Amino acid sequence: MGKQIWKPGNMLYPLPAVLVSAADKKGEAGILTVAWTGTICTNPAMLYISVKPERYTYHMIRETGEFVVNLTTKKLARVTDWCGVRSGRDVDKWEETGLTKGRASRLVYAPLIEESPVNLECQVTEVKELGSHHMFLARILAVQADEAYMNENGKFELNETGLIAYSHGEYFSLGEDLGRFGFSVKKK
């Protein structure tokens, strides 16, 4: 068996499927589903999201320079997909999905999604207009974590939240634990 050579394309999977919430200066709030996101720096804590300028919530992020990345779970999979195929121009995603607008810290105006186990409050530092998508580089100003996932020792159990990933047009729940960081070199 050989390998086929294809034209250049985005085949870097799986990706986190997240809900991004934002608001404009008039107070109109929106939600969009993003899979093109990731960590870019630890210190300062930074991430990126890539968004098509045609997306309804794009103008909110561009106008205010802030947004919230809300991690998604198995319980939120249907809502995550729905927010990715419906436009805020046509429907109020908050009302239609029943998601709860939460208050971010005083550092950002954008609302967070209460049903998400982790909310990353972000301030845009740079916008890179790359073609079909514009990349928003952003500092993470605050993180909110759901206390329901704190264990008896005060450790946040992120992997117990039911996180989901997106891969080649499909959503997956994260599954089997294959090992902790460094397990390949750990002495037995």
Q: Widest CA span of the chain, in angstroms?
A: 59
Distance between CA 145 and CA 51 in Å, rounded? 25
Closest residue by Cα to residue 31 from 23, 39, 40: 23
Q: Residue 94's pLDDT is what?
A: 97
Torsion of CA 118, 121, 127, 131, to 10 degrees: 30
What is the separation, in whole angstroms, between the first and last Cα of the chain? 38
Beta bridge partners of 171: 166
Q: What's the DSSP call for residue 120?
A: E
Q: Residue 155's pLDDT is what?
A: 96
Beta bridge partners of 88: none
Q: In what helix (H) or strand (E) does residue 139 lie, and over which residues does it extend?
A: strand 134-145
Q: What's the DSSP call for residue 96?
A: H
Distance between CA 141 and CA 145 in Å, rounded? 14
Write out the two tokens for 23.
Answer: 């608001």
Q: Residue 177's pLDDT is what?
A: 85
Q: Residue 79's pLDDT is what?
A: 98
**Which amino acid is present at 61?**
I
Note down pLDDT in tens along the chain; length 188 residues.
899 999 998 888 999 999 999 999 999 999 999 999 999 999 999 999 999 999 999 999 999 999 999 999 999 999 999 999 999 999 999 999 999 999 998 789 999 999 999 999 999 999 999 999 999 999 999 999 999 999 999 999 999 999 999 999 999 998 888 888 898 898 87
Q: Residue 180's pLDDT is what?
A: 87
Confidence (pTM): 0.94
Q: Which residues contact 163 (CB under 8 A, 6 or more apart)?
A: 16, 71, 72, 73, 74, 173, 174
Write down the CATH number for the domain with range 15-173: 2.30.110.10
Cβ-based burial of 59 (10 A; exposed 0-12, middle 13-18, buried ≥19): middle
Q: In what helix (H) or strand (E) does residue 28 lie, and over which residues does it extend?
A: none
17 close to 74: Cβ distance less than 8 angstroms: no
